[in-house]
Amino acid sequence: MPKHSGSKSRPAKARAISARRPAAVRERAAAAVERRAAPRRPARSAAMQLAAELERLENELVAAHSRMTALEARAEVDPLTELINRRGFERELKRALAYVKRYGASAALVYLDLDSFKPINDRHGHAAGDAVLKAAAMVLARQVRSSDLVARIGGDEFVALLWHIEEEDAQAKARALETAVARMTATHGGATLSIGVSAGAAMLLPLDTPASVLERADRAMYARKSARRTALSA
């Protein structure tokens, strides 16, 4: 009896195992799918993170480039007068000379030096001198065309680059700039300040270098300053 009873229980057990098998197979299949799918989600997440990081770095690079461009531009501007400084002017003068040499265009350089500027600093202080410099820069910038260029290249020295102008007109423009500055006034600490300027002009020539045309204009300015002093003392 025990043997016969055991023989009957084995088919029943086999049927129970067989009944459970589809569910177990499904569970194993589902687990395998989950295992295969699980690495994909982190991979997609890592790719998204990488893309976001690249975008952030690109934005930072664009912003850094913009800051560098702004800093480079400010490096060529005189902070007191807001005119181009010597560095910026020398770059523009090189371009102008190359253009004159290639296309035969006419251009002139006017070199300007304020008269008796030191006594203003000595008597009224450097803040008063700064007020005079800013006023002179404003007057000079207003006296030239938008295609021309005015720069401050030294303490009380300015230059004007004039395009499409002949020598006679350049000389006349130099005298006009002297007159405009002489008529100007600046105020500081209740004092009304005025000043003169001496201007010398030189044409840009095809074989010029920046140094050579600046030297000619500088010599013309000093000759003009000497003549003005002689006229005042006579």
Residues 135/196/111/230 CA torsion (nearest 10 deg):
-170
Token pair for 204: 């840009």
Q: How far apart are CA 133 and CA 126, in angstroms?
A: 10
Element (H, E) at 150: strand 149-152
Number of H helices, E strands in the chain: 7, 6
Reduced to 3 DSSP states, what percent helix, strand and coil does the chain have, rounded to the nearest 5?
A: 65, 15, 20
Catalytic annotation on 78? no
Question: What is the distance, to the nearest Å, from the Cα of residue 156 to the centroid of all Cα atoms in its chain?
Answer: 25
Kindly name the residue from 156, 169, 208, 218 that is annotated as catalytic: 156
**CA dist 138 → 79, 131, 150, 187 (Å):** 13, 11, 10, 14
Q: How far apart are CA 202 and CA 220, in angstroms?
A: 7
Residues in Cβ contact with 198 at an 8 Å cutoff, skipping those fewer than 6 apart: 112, 113, 115, 178, 221, 222, 224, 225, 228
Contact 88, 151 (CB under 8 A): yes
Q: How far apart are CA 193 and CA 38, in angstroms?
A: 82
| Catalytic residue positions, numbered | 156
